[in-house]
């Protein structure tokens, strides 16, 4: 009897896992789970989270598992994940990283699941064509444009009033700007922060804005084009910010602004989301015409499908394209939640977007800037990322007052020329 029980029990013990695994093997009929990995953090990440949650709630057959947060290592990680055959199904690319990253992406017109552009109706003229074309390499399309981000000046209307300025007429010229900043400083506040969160890259971008407004350029073919009077004057204008007592080096402008201690902050479209939680009245003035031409720095995000391996690549790539199509068609929500200018024309015309609070507060102005030539794209050079990185330590040191402007510009130019020469 006992022996019988032992045998029965053993059979049962062996059978249960077998049944479970057999059940598991039949599973693929359920929803496909896609992994989406982005470089968004802060407000952007919240906005993308909302969009993905919305996607998941209206789809039964596809579910997206979202991971976000790392900005600096994002592209190297994406690259390595593709090499290791572990790439996420959906990713994000930036215009100035496309040259580095496109070999790791699925060509959308020639994917394991066929021509996805045809299948899901992605057409070049549905988007801003120049931005679409930046993602075209050797006739293949590697990415779908999502947005245009830009830098503009957010200002604290309460502090404007306190400094005796008219909050409804923010400065438009250099003269008005200097007047406003001096008034804010004299009222006892930080007047202006040119560098968003205070990392070197933000000062470098502000210097680009000055350079472009003065009519200067970053590159002339394969040479640095800023080792001249324009480059130096553009940097002098940036260094004037701490020199005039408008702010001090080493500070985080976004934190100062959100705490109500800063009058004017140069920051991107995404700062709209921070503004939901502040207890003062604010506005966004775009960028003043500081010099000859009104220009600002910005970038583009794209939706991409990293290269997939494995037996179910066809199915996953197809599902990823379906998800990207939905996100692109609904990218007005990315505008409403995230504050960025969507680049799909239908989304840009969406009445929900046009009537949103975001549009009224900041996005309307940014959209004007995007389509009136104020937004100036970075040079479309294969080494643009390394060029940026070569410049920024010198700009930061000049801003900190630890290197003089002439030395900073000539060293930055020498380093850029070394990058361009392949060294």
Partner 1 sequence: MAHILAERYAFRCRCIRPIFNSEVKSDKLLAVAVNPRERCGHEGAATIAPVPAEPDAAKHQQFAAMRRKANAKIPEWLLFILPYGALWLTFLFGPLLFGFFISLHRWDPLRGNAFVGFENYAVLFARARFWNSFAVTWQFVVLVIPGVVLVGLLAAIALHFGRFRGKSAFESLLFFPYLLNVSIISIVWRLMHDPSIGIIRPLFARLGIALPPLLNSATWALPMVALTTIWWLAGYRMIIFRAAIASIPADLYESARLDGAGPFRTFFAITLPLLRPTLLFALVVTTVGGMRTFGQVIMMTAGGPGVATEVLALYMYRLAFDFADFGRAAAVGFVLFLMIFAVSMVLVRVLKLKGDLR
The correct pick among 33, 53, 65, 73 for binding partner 1 (CB under 8 A) is: 73
Residues 223, 420: Cα–Cα separation, whole Å: 7
Are the beta carbons of 332 and 342 closer than 8 angstroms?
yes
Residue 415 touching partner 1 (CB under 8 A): yes
- Which CB, 85 or 373, lies closer to partner 1? 85
Q: How far is the CB of 198 from partner 1 (least distance, A)?
A: 8
Span near partner 1 by CB under 8 A; candidates 13-21, 67-75, 204-212, 334-342: 67-75
The correct pick among 30, 103, 245, 382 for binding partner 1 (CB under 8 A) is: 103
C-alpha dist (Å) from residue 228 to 232, 241, 379: 6, 21, 18
Q: Which of 212, 249, 247, 264 is nearest to 233 (CA)?
A: 212
Tokens standing for residue 33: 């789970």
Residue 258 touching partner 1 (CB under 8 A): no
The correct pick among 9, 76, 240, 243 for binding partner 1 (CB under 8 A) is: 76
Residue 407 touching partner 1 (CB under 8 A): no
The correct pick among 49, 251, 346, 417 for binding partner 1 (CB under 8 A) is: 251
Q: Which of 104, 38, 35 is nearest to 71 (CA)?
A: 38
Number of residues that bind partner 1 (CB under 8 A): 35
3-class state of residue 111 by DSSP:
strand
- Taking the alpha carbons at both ends of the chain, their separation in whole angstroms is 82
Residues 153, 195: Cα–Cα separation, whole Å: 11
- Residue 267 phi/psi, 5-degree rounding, is -150, 175
Residue 418 touching partner 1 (CB under 8 A): yes
Q: How far is the CB of 74 from partner 1 (least distance, A)?
A: 9
Residue 273 touching partner 1 (CB under 8 A): no
Q: Which of residues 376-395 bind partner 1 (CB under 8 A)?
A: 385-386, 389, 393-394
Residues 299, 283: Cα–Cα separation, whole Å: 22
Tokens 């923010």 found at: 170
Can you give the binding site for partner 1, defined by CB under 8 A?
A: 72-73, 75-77, 79, 82-83, 100, 103-104, 199-200, 248-252, 255-256, 259, 261, 385-386, 389, 393-394, 396-397, 400, 402-403, 415, 418, 423
């Amino acid at each position: 009897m006992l022996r019988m029980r032992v045998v029965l029990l053993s059979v049962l013990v062996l059978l249960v896992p077998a049944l479970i695994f057999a059940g598991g093997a039949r599973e693929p009929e359920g929803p496909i789970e896609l992994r989406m990995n982005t470089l968004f953090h802060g407000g952007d990440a919240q906005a993308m989270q909302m969009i993905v949650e919305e996607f998941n709630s209206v789809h039964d057959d596809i579910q997206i598992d979202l991971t976000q947060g790392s900005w600096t290592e994002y592209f190297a990680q994406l690259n390595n994940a593709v090499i290791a055959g572990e790439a996420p199904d959906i990713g994000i690319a930036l215009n100035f990283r496309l040259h580095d990253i496109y070999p790791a992406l699925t060509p959308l017109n020639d994917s394991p699941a066929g021509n996805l552009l045809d299948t899901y109706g992605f057409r070049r003229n549905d988007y801003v064509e120049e931005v679409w074309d930046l993602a075209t390499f050797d006739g293949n399309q590697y990415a779908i444009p999502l947005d245009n981000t830009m830098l503009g000046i957010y200002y604290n209307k309460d502090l404007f009033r306190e400094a005796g300025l008219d909050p409804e007429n923010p400065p438009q010229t250099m003269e008005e700007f200097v007047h406003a900043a001096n008034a804010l400083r004299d009222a006892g506040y930080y007047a202006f922060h040119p560098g968003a969160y205070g990392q070197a890259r933000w000062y470098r971008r502000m210097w680009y804005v000055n350079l472009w407004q003065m009519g200067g350029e970053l590159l002339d073919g394969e040479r640095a084009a800023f080792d001249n009077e324009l480059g130096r004057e553009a940097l002098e204008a940036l260094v004037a910010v701490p020199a005039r007592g408008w702010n001090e080096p080493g500070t985080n402008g976004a934190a100062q602004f959100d705490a109500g201690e800063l009058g004017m902050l140069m920051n991107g479209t995404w700062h709209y989301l921070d503004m939901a939680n502040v207890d003062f009245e604010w506005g966004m003035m775009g960028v003043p015409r500081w010099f000859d031409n009104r220009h600002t720095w910005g970038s583009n995000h794209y939706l991409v499908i990293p290269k997939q391996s494995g037996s179910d690549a066809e199915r996953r790539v197809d599902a990823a394209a379906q998800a990207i199509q939905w996100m692109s068609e609904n990218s007005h929500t990315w505008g409403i939640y995230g504050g960025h200018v969507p680049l799909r024309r239908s989304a840009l015309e969406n009445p929900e977007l046009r009537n949103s609070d975001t549009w009224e507060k900041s996005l309307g102005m940014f959209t004007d800037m995007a389509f009136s030539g104020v937004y100036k794209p970075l040079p479309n050079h294969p080494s643009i990322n390394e060029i940026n990185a070569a410049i920024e330590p010198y700009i930061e040191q000049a801003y900190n007052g630890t290197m003089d402007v002439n030395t900073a510009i000539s060293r930055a130019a020498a380093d850029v020329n070394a990058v361009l020469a392949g060294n």
